[in-house]
Amino acid sequence: MKIVASPDHRLHHPAGELYEGDLVPPFECPERWDHIVAALEGAALGEVATPRPLPDTLLPRVHDERYLAFLSTAHDVWRAEGHRGDMIPTCFPARRMAPREPLDIEGRLGFFAFASETSLTRGTWAAARSSVDVAYTAQQLVGAGDNSAFALCRPPGHHAGRDYFGGYCFLNNAAVVAQAFLDDGASRVAILDVDFHHGNGTQDIFDRRDDVLFASIHGDPRHEFPHFSGFADEVGTGPGEGFTANYPLAPDTSFTAWMEALDSATRRIDRIGVDALVVSLGVDTFVGDPISTFRLTTADFTSYGHHLGALGLPTVYCMEGGYAVDAIGTNVVNVLIGHQEAGP
């Protein structure tokens, strides 16, 4: 399996995040990347390739250009106006508040954000661009004939919508991979999100489209972040109706129940027929994860990796969540090993 990663992820390193009323060290931290790389090296899955830049025309096919302009300049404006430290959104438009972009940088920050745990730092834009380059390069390797590739993306991406950030995500890596497959000639692509949290950003991007099937297995949003999307009756809009499939599951879901949802999702993928599969790989379904409630064990990750590999599809894995730092590398590698054991 080809692996793509970049040390430029370290450019994004917030000082803290707001969690349960306190400013705490971020759960999404550079050490996650280090543990995954160490586990990959120990498993000898393959050499790590250096990413190459994605075309300038690709990002605007996934994200709004106003949003991209904001992300790319926000911290420079923040500092130029005399602010210090990281940018933490504190004011958000809600319900019937007018959707007009403010002029003030603090207002613009809230306008493009949906959650206050996610900080913008001096290096966030460069790190996010590097992360999406990692994803794009993995797609190009698979498009050139490799059966599968793992994109070690950091920051993650599945909470980033067409014109908003949050949930530690700024640019939607999995969405970029899906769009790149389509641009390279695929008729239809599936994105399977196995992160504990609903991929609200990915759903937002493809909600009205019938060339991408988005399927997400996640904690019931009545209990879990991001709270306002991921319900079973969200099935896509207009031409995209029937191309969104959500599987919200209760707290303390066992691997048996989780696998029933995965089996349903993969049967749906098989039924509609796709040319490629993108997996938003979050391993925060692990029983020891500090901000999640599912009950998967380390061995379970191998089992479901085998299930995904058995689909026989050209596959790109994009790294998403997973915050049990000491176990994250083993859990990620187990998925990839399972895939390789089952795949062609």
| Residues belonging to the active site | 159
Angle between helices 298-309 and 325-342 (to 10 degrees): 30
* R_g of the chain, CA atoms, integer Å: 19
Cα–Cα distance for residue pair 191/308, rounded to 1 Å: 12
* 143: number of Cβ within 10 Å: 19
Amino acid 58 reads L
Q: Cis link prior to 155 (omega < 30° from 0)?
A: yes
Residues linked to residue 244 through DSSP beta bridges, in sequence order: 214
71 φψ region: left (φ > 0), alpha (ψ -120 to 50), beta (else): alpha
Closest among 75, 72, 83 to 120, alpha carbons compared = 75
| Rounded distance between C-alpha atoms, residue 288 and residue 285, angstroms | 8
